[in-house]
Amino acid sequence: MTKEYKTINEISGPLIFVEKTEPVGFNELVEIRTDTGVVKRGQVLDTSDAIVVVQVFEGTGGLSKESSVRFTGDVIKMPLSPDIIGRVLSGSGQPKDGGPPIVPDVERDIGGAAINPSVRDKPRAFIQTGISTIDGTNTLVRGQKLPIFSGAGLPHNDIALQIARQAKTLGEAESFAVIFCAMGITNEEAQHFMRDFERTGALERAVVFLNLADDPAVERLLTPRLGLTTAEYLAFDLGMHVLVIYTDMTNYCESMRQMGAAREEVPGRRGYPGYMYTDLATNYERAGIIMGRAGSITQFPILTMPGDDITHPIPDLSGYITEGQMIVSRDLHRKGIYPPIDIRPSLSRLMNSGIGEGHTREDHRAVSDQLYAYYAEGCDLRGLVAIVGKEALSERDRLVLEFADAFEQKFVSQGRDEDRSIFETLDIGWNLLAELPETMLTRIDDHIIKQYHPKYRKE
Amino acid sequence: MEVGKVYRVAGPVVHATGLKSHMYDLVLVGEDGLMSEVIGISGDKHIIQVYEDTAGVRPGEPVKETGAALVAQLGPGILTSIYDGVQRPLPALAEASGDFISRGLFVDGIDHKKKWDFEPVVKKGDLVKPGQPVGTVQEQLLIKHKVMVPPNLKGGEVKEIYSGNFTVEETVCVLDDGTELPMIQYWPVRTARPSTVKMAPTIPLRTGQRVIDGFFSLAKGGTAAIPGGFGTGKTVMQQTLSKWSDVDIVVYVGCGERGNEMADLLHEFPELVDPRTDRPLMERSIVYANTSNMPVAAREASIYTGMTTAEYYRDMGYDVLLTADSTSRWAEAMRELSSRLEEMPGEEGYPAYLGARLADFYERSGRVTTLGGEEGSVSVVGAVSPPGGDFTEPVTQNTLRIVKVFWALDAKLTQRRHFPSINWLESYSLYDLDLEPWFVENISPDWNNNKRRAMAILQENAELEEIVMLVGSDALPEDQQLTLEVARMIINYWLAQSAFHPVDTFCPYEKQFDLLEAILGYREFAFEALGRGVPVDVINSAASKDALAKIRLLDDYKPELEKVMKQMADEFKVMS
Ligand SMILES: Nc1ncnc2c1ncn2[C@@H]1O[C@H](COP(=O)(O)OP(=O)(O)O)[C@@H](O)[C@H]1O
Ligand SMILES: [Mg+2]
């Protein structure tokens, strides 16, 4: 199967069309050599007796009809061994740190088979990130995929880094690793991450994949798959708890759109391919825990919402797959609040299984619900105040309005290195709620109020 | 059987030459024998959708015919199963290939080796018609499985009937024309199983959810859609309905959604007990889990395999609830396959037959007289996931044209953490009038009146809120301020219901009624007090009002409710 062909019939964008081949497998890895000896890699998208369509990861620049094409007879695989920890690789998996190539113990198909749903374990181990808006109101658990939806110029990277630094489970010390995949981000942003990883020593237990803004766009379609294949190896072969941060999914999706256009496919909503949901799912769903295996994969994808629009297909389809979303808000950022996480549209779908007695504290759910209810109501009232003025508010409404302001200042806002325990977070919540009359705490069971309300606790 | 050849592979679609198969026949593609279905025939080529990943498949590889359509295996052993979209039991796949799903595995939908204790219900010489039971098997502790003459056979006179332990493949009955009936039957999933009469939707399906049972009720055998953007509560609602609905059997189709959600359900269902029977919910459940990262073609099929099993239990005379989460992912699977077939796209790239397929699916619901003369039902609740939460998109619109109940999820309510986030102004149930007599007869003569009164208050509330947004609530006349307060009570103390509260997750009819009656009772007191000049602030600060908030969280709520109502009467007596 290593015959070389010089039968390229057409080159169009990132695609080449090859004729008169022996049977070639779908999704097979392809190597293309230019006249000058540069070797590029590609993947079969469509194969038939008549023609084979190949997408070229490093771009088709420099290719001509004279270039030779070799079909490897195998799908794309990632070489893996424990030595991969600490390495910096390119977006297509080649060493980028001057180190030797990875000598594989195993090689894995980067497509990644689906975890059989019946062997998945239920994620329920509370991860304390030290950030109140996450731990208190949108709790993260091990094995979850929780993206950050942000916008250009907002501090999502700082939040991701703070999480990577502070994330821990209460109690046990366990082996863990961070996988960082950059897709089309600027060199400066990448440096920001790398410096922080170096400063905190995180690099020693990280694997970094870098596809930067000036690297080929098609390569980006590989990057998360390489990262997640590595994550599965570390988690399910070596038993590590793996945190995967990948940024920016928006660039990844743009590459997908570009590929779709090159293939002249019928586009779905706003020009993105109809299979974008499925494609994203094959990445995001590679998070989780498997019964009887020690490790776990937790994902933190970051994406910037084009035009801050959450209904844009990229955040929209992501939100339909991930287990919640953290929304970084431009309004809060403008007010000078860090981390500017707006809890109202944010959500952690797996929160319930990771909180409460035995996980965090018995009052967690009730406190969170009550905080949500009055913060949301207070934000609504701000709109009203803008029209009718504070004077027109009832006494109750005035209290709710003040609560919302205090909530942003005391609960949401915290330092970039401030690592709050979950108990501190819940107590901040209680102190805010204690400013309201007790009869207003309608979402909290009486026995919980009696036990945790500051008024009763002081006695 | 012919063996053809792969001609072309593009994603989940394969073109093959040299086949004689019919449309929708099952074929096995490639060296690995990947399970596939013929979905088009064009010239000398068969167009095939493959239920498994096609990576590595080459032109020239064999394509084997099976001579049959995609069928579901029906017989004892379906309950408690967890299947992929083409009815392969996932635990068996895990046993065969490990924690990650690999390809080319064929596993029977039900165990062919297990022996079941078959008890005949007919005797030699009896005449049996299609759909009529010839015997029963105790499939679960409380669920009897009826072994029926398959609807596509003629029936006849019973020549032999056996009793004792048999596998599903062994003959348990022989008819006079020589037909041998085993317990198992095979049914093509895309074909509706027949029934005799479709009955009127006059019995409600009790869900234990106040906003649904009280306002937008579903009938047994009815259809409902629950559209909403991500995170608005579709899945939680479907799971809650699967837990507490008063049906005998639940078919939960996880169609292109999350793996962890399925894990959650699979961990929970065996532990939770059905309040009607005190048995684990899993015993009455069948789960299809074809998650978003599993092959799209199998996702497309999962809706049909799920429906076929639902109909099969209906045919035994059971009430079945089928929930599909999400029908949008099914429609997207259709779109993806259609675009690979290079069909003319309709609206937003969906195939032109989208509406027809949706209609065919929901049409398979209903409360019927079965061929065997029993009464059974399949009720269907479909989640819809509109892009950007915009209900004008094709899947939502086409669905609303068909289903009779619309539970509109509202992201604004979600943001306030008001659950279920079903918008009470937009939602509707077209079964409303058909069901009213049942509530009068079985719950209370006032059930429907209370409902209408509560809805009128909420309607007025919506209008008042618009004014409040302009002038503030203090500027309203006092009676309108009271209405706002009563509406707030209906919304927060009655419509809101946490799926995660151990007690409030399920609310029996009587409690639903009592709680609403209490709020409306408060309203009477309040307006009476206002009439005699008590200021609205004083009325609103009644302690008994706030005490009403927590009654719903109590299991044995009656004594507390009585106490609060008494307190209320006392408070208002002296109020001035
Ligand atoms: N009835 C409910 N009671 C309490 N919480 C709910 C309810 N419905 C939804 N939620 C909350 O909303 C989240 C998202 O709900 P989910 O059903 O997963 O949304 P969807 O399926 O529409 O994306 C859940 O994780 C839960 O926190
Ligand atoms: Mg859902």
Q: Rounded to a whole number, what is the distance in Å from the CA of A54 to chain B's nearest CA?
A: 11
Q: Rounded to a whole number, what is the distance in Å from the CA of B16 to chain A's nearest CA?
A: 10
Check B292 against A288: CB less than 8 A apart: no
Answering whether pTM is above 0.80, one says yes
Domain ranges of chain B: 3-68, 116-183, 197-431, 447-574
SS3 state of residue B187: strand
Tell me how many helices (H) and strands (E) chain B has.
16, 26
Q: Tokens in use for B130? A: 């299609």
SS3 state of residue B103: coil
Listing DSSP states for B276-308 in one string gives TT-SBGGGGEEEEEE-TTS-HHHHHHHHHHHHH
Q: Which residue of B has its CA nearest to A110?
A: B55
Residue B33 φ/ψ region, left for φ over 0, alpha for ψ in the -120 to 50 degree band, beta for the rest:
left
- pLDDT tier for residue B179 given thresholds of 50, 70 and 90: very high
Contacting residues of A for B11, CB less than 8 Å apart: 26, 275
Check B99 against A28: CB less than 8 A apart: no
For residue B511, the one-letter residue type is K
Check B55 against A25: CB less than 8 A apart: yes
Phi and psi, residue A106, nearest 5°: -140, 160
Asked whether the predicted pLDDT for residue A401 surpasses 90, the reply is: yes
- pLDDT tier for residue A429 given thresholds of 50, 70 and 90: very high
Mutate to test the pocket of ligand 1, among B410, B419, B500 (most ligand atoms within 8 A of CB): B419
Listed in sequence order, the residues at least 6 apart from B256 whose beta carbon sits closer than 8 Å to its beta carbon are A277, A278, A281, B290, B291, B292, B296, B299, B326, B329, B330, B332, B333
Element (H, E) at B262: helix B259-268
Span A323-345, average pLDDT: 96
Spatial separation of the C-alpha atoms in residues A228 and A237, rounded to whole Å: 13
Instruction: Quote the pLDDT of residue B183.
Output: 97
Q: Tokens in use for B8? A: 């072309």
pLDDT tens track for A34-88: 988 888 989 999 999 889 999 998 888 889 998 999 999 888 999 999 999 999 9
A39-48, B114-123, B127-136, B463-472: the lowest-pLDDT one: B463-472
Instruction: Quote the pLDDT of residue A260.
Output: 86
CA of A51 to the centre of ligand 1 (A): 48
Q: Tokens in use for A173? A: 């010390």
Listed in sequence order, the residues at least 6 apart from A395 whose beta carbon sits closer than 8 Å to its beta carbon are none
List the residue whose alpha carbon is closest to atom 16 of ligand 1: B233
User: Which of A 239-298 lie inside 8 A of B, CB atoms?
Assistant: 265-269, 274-275, 277-278, 281-282, 285-288, 290, 293
CB B181 within 8 A of CB B393: no
Name the residue facing B472 among A45, A320, A384 (closest C-beta). A384
Q: Which residue has the tokens 């990650």?
A: B100
Contacting residues of A for B389, CB less than 8 Å apart: 311
pLDDT tens track for A186-242: 999 999 999 999 998 888 999 999 999 999 888 899 999 999 999 999 999 999 999
Name the residue facing B259 among A111, A288, A293 (closest C-beta). A288
CATH number of the structural domain B116-183: 2.40.50.100
CB A13 within 8 A of CB A262: yes
Name the residue among A378, A360, A375, A352 with its Cα closest to residue A452.
A360
CA of B340 to the centre of ligand 2 (A): 27
Average pLDDT, chain A: 92
| B207 CB near ligand 1 (under 6 Å) | no
Check A116 against B472: CB less than 8 A apart: no
DSSP state of B68: E
Contacting residues of B for A392, CB less than 8 Å apart: 471-475
Span A304-324, average pLDDT: 95
User: Which of A 384-413 lie inside 8 A of B, CB atoms?
Assistant: 384, 387-389, 392-394, 397
Name the residue facing B231 among A115, A313, A319 (closest C-beta). A319
CA angle B455–B456–B459, rounded 5-degree value: 85
Element (H, E) at B92: helix B90-97
Asked whether the predicted pLDDT for residue B141 surpasses 80, the reply is: yes
The 3-class SS string of B107-153 reads CCCCCCCCCEEEEECCCCCCEECCCCEEEEEEEECCEEEEEECCCCC
A98-102, B275-279, B555-559: the lowest-pLDDT one: B275-279
Q: Tokens in use for A55? A: 């997408």
Beta strands in B283-401, from DSSP E residues, in sequence order:
285-290, 319-325, 366-369, 375-384
Instruction: Quote the pLDDT of residue A173.
Output: 66
Please count the other Cβ atoms lying within 10 Å of the Cβ belonging to residue B222. 28
CA of B34 to the centre of ligand 1 (A): 37
Asked whether the predicted pLDDT for residue B346 surpasses 60, the reply is: yes
Name the residue facing B91 among A118, A143, A281 (closest C-beta). A118
Which residue of B7, B9, B52 to mutate against A (max A Cβ within 10 Å)? B9
pLDDT tens track for A346-361: 999 999 999 999 999 9
CA of A305 to the centre of ligand 2 (A): 21
CB B100 within 8 A of CB A113: yes
DSSP state of B273: B
Listed in sequence order, the residues at least 6 apart from B54 whose beta carbon sits closer than 8 Å to its beta carbon are A26, A27, B9, B11, B12, B14, B29, B30, B34
Q: Which atom of ligand 1 is nearest to the CA of B209?
A: 1
Asked whether the predicted pLDDT for residue A174 surpasses 80, the reply is: no
Phi and psi, residue A275, nearest 5°: -95, 15
Asked whether the predicted pLDDT for residue A459 surpasses 60, the reply is: no
Name the residue among B354, B455, B349, B366 with its Cα closest to residue B403.
B366
Spatial separation of the C-alpha atoms in residues A264 and A245, rounded to whole Å: 32
Spatial separation of the C-alpha atoms in residues B454 and B303, rounded to whole Å: 37
Instruction: Quote the pLDDT of residue A171.
Output: 66
Quick one: what percent of chain A has pLDDT higher than 90? 75
Q: Rounded to a whole number, what is the distance in Å from the CA of B113 to chain A's nearest CA?
A: 22
CA of B228 to the centre of ligand 2 (A): 9
Spatial separation of the C-alpha atoms in residues A436 and B391, rounded to whole Å: 38
The 3-class SS string of A144-202 reads CECCEEECCCCCHHHHHHHHHHHCEECCCCCCEEEEEEEEEECHHHHHHHHHHHHHCCH
CATH number of the structural domain B3-68: 2.40.30.20
Instruction: Quote the pLDDT of residue A207.
Output: 96
CATH number of the structural domain B197-431: 3.40.50.300
Name the residue among A82, A74, A94, A51 with its Cα closest to residue A222.
A94
List the residue whose alpha carbon is closest to atom 27 of ligand 1: A349
Instruction: Quote the pLDDT of residue A222.
Output: 92
DSSP state of A39: E
Asked whether the predicted pLDDT for residue A140 surpasses 80, the reply is: yes
List the residue whose alpha carbon is closest to atom 4 of ligand 1: B498
SS3 state of residue A218: helix
Average pLDDT, chain B: 94
Q: Which residues of A59-89 are buried (b: 16+ CB within 10 A; e: fewer)?
A: ebeebeeebbbbbbeebbbbbbeeebbebbb
Helix, strand, coil tally for chain B in percent (to 5): 35, 25, 40
Q: Could you tell me the sign of the dihedral formed by the alpha carbons of B421, B425, B429, B432, in that order? A: positive
CATH number of the structural domain B447-574: 1.10.1140.10
Name the residue facing B93 among A23, A116, A122 (closest C-beta). A116
The 3-class SS string of B505-535 reads CCCCHHHHHHHHHHHHHHHHHHHHHHHCCCC
Instruction: Quote the pLDDT of residue A172.
Output: 65
